Structure 1
Amino acid sequence: MDLPHHGYRASKQRGRGTPTGGESMLFDDTSASGMNTQGYYTPGYSMAGPQNDTQAGVSNLFADPMANAAVMYGSSLANQGKDMVNKEISRFMSVNKLKYFFAVDTKYVMKKLMILMFPYTHQDWEVRYHRDTPLTPRQDVNAPDLYIPTMAFITYILLAGMALGIQKRFSPEVLGLCASTALVWVIIEVLVMLLSLYLLTVHSDLSTFDLIAYSGYKYVGMIFTVLCGLLFGSDGYFVALAWSSCALMFFIVRSLKMKILTSLTSDSMSTSSSAKPQMRMYITMATALFQPVIIYWLTSHLVR
């Protein structure tokens, strides 16, 4: 019983001793290295990693009064810039008035498309008002809108790209030229109308947005014409061109009649010239007759 006890004590003493000569230790003994645990948790050092260091830096940044002042100054500059942009936009267009032309719903769009393609069956063309304010397009199918011209323009560009791709003539340059040409023609048409109304001093309810809307309705007929040309060839193209041109001319005359020609009676009492009412009629007819020319110019190169 004493031998194991002494053997255990001897081995324990050898384990505590310093290795000699040929003996080698498998593991270094670091227990006696005099490590100070406080050295690993010195102030300013974070054990949580770079992410917490970044968060701490951001918190310190926003806790700085100078940083808060800089942030507030930057936000005030951003608000001032936003107000200036809105003010400059309001000089050229009214945002509320622009929203009026996009106040549509599905029912209105379907009815308007039917009128554009089959205007001969439509009887009432008068635009309705409520307290001297025209009703929104969703409330009055005769009111002009910009939703259909915008969507029709985008659809026309996509259809033109498909037609050019079918004919192995597609390229980004050709498609960009097609889109820019269609847009430029609308701008020219609107500018000519505005200049004509200004030179003849015609006082009407037509605004620039109204003219853009009436000028943009031609894209509906252009889409129909190109589709018929792709499906039925040149014969189908010319039949669709004739139908859409006649329908659009009828639509333009009946719509502008309520805007331009309704003031003939009131103006004839204040002027002795009889050429002025005739010129108003000429403007309306010229606008209608110009539509087939643009439709043919913008669609003929897409169908071969």
Structure 2
Amino acid sequence: MALPHHGYRATKPRARAAPPSGDPLLFEDTTGGGQGAGGVNTLFTDPMANAAMMYGSSLANQGKDMVNKEISRFMSVNKLKYFFAVDTKYVMKKLMLLMFPYTHQDWEVRYHRDTPLTPRHDVNAPDLYIPTMAFITYILLAGMALGIQKRFSPEVLGLCASTALVWVVIEVLVMLLSLYLLTVHTDLSTFDLVAYSGYKYVGMIFTVLCGLLFGSDGYYVALAWSSCSLMFFIVRSLKMKILSSLSADSMGAGASAKPRFRLYITVASAAFQPIIIYWLTAHLVR
């Protein structure tokens, strides 16, 4: 019986293409025929590229030297390191000296070959570590005090920090101007004045803590104690720097400045401390 041929089409086996030699490429190679490594090697062996790299390195070194030179014009890095050469023993002794200075006898800064000893070797040497840490602690304590009283805000805390910093700057500038106008020859540097002015933050921390713990009565007692201690410390410390220069200036240009003016500078600097402490802490304790 003959089968119908409608809809039937004979199929022939298709010839399969021969597989390409090597691994098949899934993506088109756009790297330039594997010349990447060769390009890198060419870059490093190209004299123009090497010259450009050397020129760029030279410019970077020159820029670094210029930055260091500009910083050295306004601030001696080695001098700044001297004021941070402290250890734990010195910090404890200096804090005790700031709060209980009345029993201390020897206030003279010691020298070795005309160079003052570092703070870790001389408790009378001024430092910037304690003022810096005390300033940061004061800001944190102010934020806590304002938070306890439900008055905290970033603006108020920023105003408190900037005010405390500005007062120190004003105090140092006034001191420098006074020494210049009275032609007082002393070895006090700007860093020394910043250190002595920054020690007030220790008393401010003590005052605020007592105010938070014991109320207004504790605040005023702590204010009186820290103010008297700081005034005594400032007078005895600056006395060795300012008043002792009278003999050195007796035959020089500083002879025209009367001794009582130098005494006024020392006393005024000390008497100004309680005013600043009260101004910066009274609003934190209510």
Into which bin does the TM-score normalised by the smaller protein fall? 0.7 to 0.9
- Structure 1 residues 271 and 202: alpha-carbon distance in aligned structure 2, compared to 1, 3 A threshold: closer
Equivalent residue for 1:33?
Answer: 17
| 1:237 aligns to 2:214 (yes or no) | no
- Structure 1 residues 23 and 240: alpha-carbon distance in aligned structure 2, compared to 1, 3 A threshold: farther
The separation in 2 between residues aligned to 1:151 and 1:69, in whole angstroms, is: 48
Equivalent residue for 2:274?
Answer: 292
Cα offset, 1:274, TM superposition: 7.6
* Counterpart AA for 1:99: K
TM-score between the two structures when normalised by the length of structure 2: 0.87
* Structure 2, gaps ≥5 residues long: 1-7
Equivalent residue for 2:161?
Answer: 179
- Structure 1 residues 201 and 59: alpha-carbon distance in aligned structure 2, compared to 1, 3 A threshold: same
The separation in 1 between residues aligned to 2:120 and 2:12, in whole angstroms, is: 94
Aligned with 1:117 (options 88, 99, 103): 99
How many residues are matched? 274
SS at match of 2:228: helix
The separation in 2 between residues aligned to 1:253 and 1:115, in whole angstroms, is: 13
Equivalent residue for 2:232?
Answer: 250
| 1:128 aligns to 2:133 (yes or no) | no
Question: 1:43-192 maps to which residues of 2 (within 5 A)?
Answer: 45=29, 56=37, 59=40, 62-63=43-44, 65=46, 66-192=48-174
Cα offset, 1:121, TM superposition: 1.2
Equivalent residue for 1:221?
Answer: 203
SS at match of 2:105: coil
Q: Which has the larger radius of gyration?
A: 1
CA shift digits 1:156-207 (9 cap, x unpaired): 0111111111111111111111111000000000000000000000001100
The separation in 2 between residues aligned to 1:179 and 1:115, in whole angstroms, is: 26
Is the CA contact 1:61–1:67 (under 8 Å) kept in the aligned structure 2?
A: no
The separation in 2 between residues aligned to 1:107 and 1:199, in whole angstroms, is: 39
Deviates more, 1:114-123 or 1:257-266: 257-266
Percent sequence identity over matched residues?
A: 80
* Counterpart AA for 1:101: F
- Structure 1 residues 167 and 36: alpha-carbon distance in aligned structure 2, compared to 1, 3 A threshold: same
Cα offset, 1:58, TM superposition: 8.7
- Structure 1 residues 70 and 153: alpha-carbon distance in aligned structure 2, compared to 1, 3 A threshold: same
